[in-house]
Amino acid sequence: MFFVDLRRLILLLATASSLLTMGYTLYGAYWAERTLLMDQALEKNRAYALKLASSTDAFIANLQQQLRYSANLLSGPAPKTEQQLNAEVNRLHEQNNSFNSVLILDTKGQVLANAPYNLGLLGTVLHGEGTRHALNSKIPLVSSPYMSATGRLLIFLSYPILDVDGNYQGLVGGSIYLHEPNSLNALLGEHFHRDGSYIYVVDKNKRLLYHQDTSRIGEIISDNPAIDAVNQGRIDALALENSQGTDMLTGFAPSKDVQWGLVVQSPTDTVLKELSGLLGKVLRNSIPFFVAVQILIWMLAMLIAKPLRQLARQAPHLDTDLAGSRISQVHAWYFESRQIKLAMLLGLKRVNRKMGVMDIERNTDPLTSLTNRRGMNAMLQQWRDTDTPFSVLAVDIDHFKRVNDTYGHDVGDLVLCFLANTMRACTRDTDLVCRVGGEEFSIFLPEQDIDQAVQLAERLRILISKTNSPTGSPITISIGVANWPIHAREHSTVLKLADEALYTAKRNGRNRVEISSQNDQVREMPPPL
């Protein structure tokens, strides 16, 4: 669950009223400016669509003029040679990248020359929609977009070739592939901007002739009010949603000569980005005083919330040693914070007292008062963190089951306590003596090498074997010795090696000390001199 701190709560309450007032004022300004910006964008797109429609008509007229010039060159009393025909189609094709292909046809539609040469149409008779219509009409013509035999969507521009008597000799024509680069695409693509504005062109059948996404060229667009309006010859602008669900500000105008519709669109979101700048100007003029007041409120909120914030930060760390001193250092300068501070200090003292008792009980074996396995693991973790080397003695009472069976478990418990007290007496204050289970014990000797550990193990073994236990006679113990980091890199492995050495001592007759070898094998310690 999320909780708001006192400082933020004060700031929230102090600023809410002023922000609501300012927000209401800006809301009215926003909608007024929004309407103005959208109207301007719509008019800009409408004007550009009209200009682009005019440019498209002029471009097509220019291409027709080029074809007429070529047709006049090819007219004459004498037929043109194949070399002359090829030279002319190459000139038309290469001079300004207007046509993707250029053809010269006779009256039957047979190809007399073509460019580029790799079209492979020379000598063939064309039956395409555009070429047949041009041959039949025998007039300058711009075809409707159609699909060629090669699968290309194109338009075909043509001009008739006449002899000196005015007899029809064929035509010269150029194809514009709507999917491929050419001057028409370059003209229409000039309006593409990084802000997401773009244009598209449709014919009278609502088929896309140009789009920035070339994969959509040839697609039939339905349910678009802009296309419906431009096909009716209207020049206008409106806001609509495009086929991708994006709000657009759209202007449109028809191209009269070729009967195309040109549509210019800008994303509404992009247009309204300008509104942020306008609102910024309003804010810069109205918020200096507001900011000054907010700074004052922030300073007061910091001053009021600081003591409680400092106390709250210490709450998750009450179990650390420094919690009491840190709480005491908090300057509680008003009544409520002072009372909370005193309550925390009092509660911390009580908790620490109880936790100290619980910690001792949790880490201590109740029978022998030695450190238990939990306490042993905690100490080993500290040594691991500080890379403290140590030797470990794994100690086990020989034939302890026989003691319990012979003298009873009460005497067995006394024997365990006897061994625990003896081990404590033989070790230093810095050593760690643990009962790890049943009659098994471990002695950890920090900063002690293997030789010192073996000497202690022998001394302890001899002392136990010569001292009467609670059974009325001595007992014996077996001991396994290992060292970290000599015998292994991992603490757990060292403990395992010590246990293995202990089991070797058991197998070799008990009442002995065995030391682990460095290759994780155990070897018998030679008897003391």
Question: What is the chain's pLDDT, residue by residue, as a tens digit (529 residues)?
Answer: 556 677 677 777 777 877 777 777 778 878 888 888 889 889 999 999 999 999 999 999 999 999 999 999 888 777 788 899 999 999 999 887 889 999 999 999 999 999 998 888 888 998 888 889 999 999 999 988 888 877 888 999 999 999 888 889 999 999 999 888 888 888 887 655 556 788 899 999 899 988 888 888 888 988 889 989 998 999 999 998 887 788 889 999 999 888 899 999 888 888 888 777 777 777 778 778 777 877 888 888 788 888 877 777 777 776 676 777 778 888 888 887 888 878 877 877 776 666 555 567 788 888 998 999 888 998 999 999 889 999 999 999 999 999 999 999 999 999 999 999 999 999 999 999 999 888 899 999 999 999 999 999 999 999 999 999 999 999 999 999 999 998 988 998 999 999 999 999 999 999 999 998 755 444 444 444 3
Say whether 398 sits in a helix, a strand or coil: coil
Q: 302 and 422: one domain?
A: no
The verdict on 328 and 441 lying in the same domain is no
The verdict on residue 461 lying in a domain is yes
Q: Partners of 394 in the beta sheet?
A: 442, 480
What does R_g of the chain's alpha carbons equal in angstroms? Answer: 49
Chain position carrying tokens 């040839």: 218
Please enumerate in sequence order all residues whose Cβ is within 8 A of that of 171, keeping only pairs 6 or more positions apart, or say none: 71, 104, 105, 134, 135, 158, 159, 160, 161
In one letter, which amino acid is 268? Answer: T
Residues 407 and 501 in one domain: yes
C-alpha closest to that of 482 among 492, 471, 473: 492
In terms of DSSP H, where are the helices of 363-476? 373-386, 400-407, 409-426, 450-466
Which residue, of 300, 333, 361, is where some domain finishes? 361
The whole domain housing 498 covers 373-524
Q: Is the bond into 316 cis (omega within 30 degrees of 0)?
A: no
Domain for residue 490, yes or no? yes
Using alpha carbons only, give the angle 235, 240, 242 rounded to the nearest 5 degrees.
Answer: 110
Residues paired with residue 364 on neighbouring β-strands, in sequence order? 371
Q: What is the pLDDT of residue 442?
A: 94
Same domain, 394 and 476: yes
Last residue of a domain, one of 301, 328, 361: 361
425 inside domain: yes
Residue 288 is predicted with a pLDDT of 81
347 domain-assigned: yes
Instruction: For residue 245, give the amino acid letter.
Output: G
pLDDT at 355: 56
> Is residue 64 included in any domain, yes or no?
no
Residues 445 and 492 in one domain: yes
| CA 74, 78, 79, 81 torsion-angle sign | negative
Q: How far is CA 111 from CA 117, 178, 299, 416, 527, in A?
A: 12, 22, 88, 115, 115
- CA 85, CA 359: separation in Å to the nearest integer? 106
pLDDT of residue 523: 41
User: Is the same domain home to 485 and 345?
Assistant: no
The letter for the amino acid at 36 is L
Q: What is the CATH number of the domain that holds 475?
A: 3.30.70.270
Both 490 and 356 in one domain: the answer is no
Q: Are residues 403 and 353 in the same domain?
A: no
Which one-letter amino acid corresponds to residue 411?
Answer: V
**275 occurs within a structural domain:** no
Identify whether residues 419 and 485 lie together within a single domain: yes
Write out the two tokens for 160: 């008739």
Q: Show which of 324, 340, 361 is a domain's final residue.
A: 361
My answer on whether 423 and 492 are in the same domain is yes
- Measured CA to CA in angstroms, residue 479 lies from 249, 379, 384, 427 at distances of 90, 21, 24, 15
Instruction: Indicate whether 319 and 391 sit together in one domain.
Output: no
* Same domain, yes or no: 293 and 379: no
**What would the two tokens of residue 469 be?**
């236990």
CA separation (Å) from 101 to 60, 105, 221, 345? 15, 13, 28, 93
Element holding 185 (H helix, E strand): helix 183-189
Is the residue at 335 inside a domain? yes
Max Cα distance, the chain (Å) = 148
* Burial (CB count <10 Å: 0-12, 13-18, 19+), residue 328: exposed
Question: Is the CA virtual torsion 457, 462, 465, 466 positive or negative?
Answer: negative
Helix (H) or strand (E) holding 441: strand 440-446
Instruction: Give the pLDDT score at 50.
Output: 92
Q: Give me the number of domains the chain comprises.
A: 2
Q: Name the strand (E) or helix (H) holding 168.
A: strand 168-177
Residue 366 falls inside a structural domain: no
